[in-house]
Structure 1
């Protein structure tokens, strides 16, 4: 019995060892079938296969999509606020206005820019009418204003303060009587310049970002509003219309020598800025061209007599050339203005020195005064012996009385 037990134990031990060796020689089977499909343990005898890296394009394609990518895939319009545009600043308000016209009203981007430009120009039209009234009133009294101004300048150049004060007072009374002020002529540029600059910055930011829908929101040959005009048609058209505006605008303004001199600058300016603006995005030129066409129509409208009467714009008086100072030319007028500025600076320096001397005399110690110039020595009379003897021989009047 004991021998049988020993044989049975040895047999069971050998069977266990055989099972252990079998389990080590074969790979373990994973519990979950999905894991076995994803992870496979290579056998030790097999050659190691090289690791295969997927292409970069597949990695980018498998990257998680952002909210902007999802909106573009769906075809929805991306708001300007998601792109970091649009705020409470003047530039941001213009961007919000253009977005409202494009998204809410349904206009294409070129139509939104045109509509926004017309809306902004109509908003400042009352300021334009006010400027035309002031220009007409100033033009009608220009000869008298020129005389008073010349009188004041002559008194200033001569250093006559009394005459200068009198001429200045007469000029102020004249302006008050006829309700004119040359500074009101800057009302129109001050109203239009901020709007132009705000539109320019707003559209340039939208084009340089760029706003995705702007790339297909153009018209005709400039379908992409974020790039420059490939045929340079818009830059040349904008330059031509600007030249026409400056020519017509000079006639509707005030006819004085300064404006006639500046007219030369206005004629040259559009062609000077053309090389600097030729590569602007077509979105900017769409606004600029619309604004120039509006200005041409506005100038033609305000020159009509019936319209001027309805808007209460005074009729301009054509003065004879003898009533106005002669046109000295642009270069000569600049030289004259430079000389007048230098003369005015010299007079101011002279007044400052006189005031400084008076202050020193009032605050400083008293100075010794002389009846003659102490720096110049007067020559003593040359005395001769004869004169001295005659002086000694001359008797004094009281000597005879005393005896």
Structure 2
């Protein structure tokens, strides 16, 4: 109001213009008569590392748009590094008369009216200006906080106007702010204007990338694991990290970690494995794989099996306990696997358990039928006579 009182010109506060290629810019003062835009740059809002770069870009955009634009900067701030700009200073404090005199220098330099005010005129102008300032900084009719209350937890700081929070910004405000994602496994921080959050509804970029990646991993109809490999799909217990997913939500070559259950009723082992390892390498239950590997190591070489070296004993084999599909050709004579045997002698019904090693000891006369085996000879001590 000091500028209006001293110049007699109309002055608009917080004038907004959308320049080509930029979002909406805010100018502190606009004088419609001379069509003049003025920005006031106090040190407390223009001493940040990127402030000079931002102020320079705004001045260049205003000149490119054909606007008449002047900056008055606090003493001590670096000048705008553009050859066609004139450097005006005020401050370094926030004395309104000091800043008004700097505006007067700008107007006088352009041949516009300006007069020195008497103390009563200064007091009246300051009171009116204070009332207008309170209206300018008051909370908008609909704030960004009211339009999007969920943003309160994610709001960190206002970079454009430090100290101004969501309650004092409109949903369409273009102030650059810092936000922090509240997801437990994220915590990402990023800088975007308020309107992109309150109006456009954009959220955390990292979480967005995760959702997009998850969506891309979902199969098209007819291409899922449940469609192309039903036997393996029947072994699926759970998709780790996605407990609500089924085999119809997985691509056969996905690298998603899953829990599987061995289909062998004698095993039933539940084990973790990535899906692409199961489909690419045809791997299955690790417990059964170890059993097969062990069985491969204990199988006899050609011509060295129990049936080859002890045909009579092999004919008495009924079952290999624990390996019901094995026969005498699958056993070494020295094997320690427990087996069931049946006596082959006519009229004998003897049955017993023993290992092949026990049967083949002492030249094939080891553990024999408990029914018809020859009795053990007793050893009597010699008697002595006195």
- TM-score by length of structure 1 reads 0.18
Relative to its length, the structure with more strand (as a share) is: 2
Relative to its length, the structure with more helix (as a share) is: 1
Higher relative contact order (Cα pairs below 8 Å, separated by 6+ residues): 1
Give the number of the structure whose alpha-carbon radius of gyration is greater. 1
- TM-score by length of structure 2 reads 0.19
